[in-house]
Amino acid sequence: MTNELTRERVESARERAENQAKIYRGAMIDLQKKYTEEPEMFLEGEYEADFNYIKDGIEDYETFLTLANAELERQSVTDEEISEAIEYFKRLKVYAIEWEKVFPEMPQALDMADLAIKALEAYRPERGVCDHE
């Protein structure tokens, strides 16, 4: 198997991740329904592991979707668009820092902005598809 990130491979992987994210979001809705039906079970910590597992799954697949979308964009963007995107994520980081002050248990916004900036800065048009070195 090759590590070459062709457009077809990334689109296929993105579709699978979207489907998995939908499954996890559905599971979160089911868990929220259980909470309304059995709030005492949540107070006892009965569903805490389920909640964390589902939340982590959603975050993982959303991160993967972000990366897949970034790769598809990387394969078709201009230098000017890259510069604009880097500036956008730098501005987003300002909001993410404020967000983390309010919700310190949810640091993924800043991490995702940093990851996006690094990916955009690493882009080189002459490189073609990502070489994963």
pLDDT in tens, 51-86: 888 889 899 999 989 999 888 877 776 778 888 889
Inform me whether the pLDDT recorded for 128 exceeds 80.
no
pLDDT value for 88: 92
| pLDDT given at position 110 | 77
Put simply, whether the predicted model's pTM sits higher than 0.85 gets the answer: no
What pLDDT shows up at residue 132? 45
Q: How many CA atoms lie within 13 A of 109 on its CB side?
A: 17
Among 86, 95, 68, which Cα is nearest to 123's? 86
**pLDDT value for 29:** 92
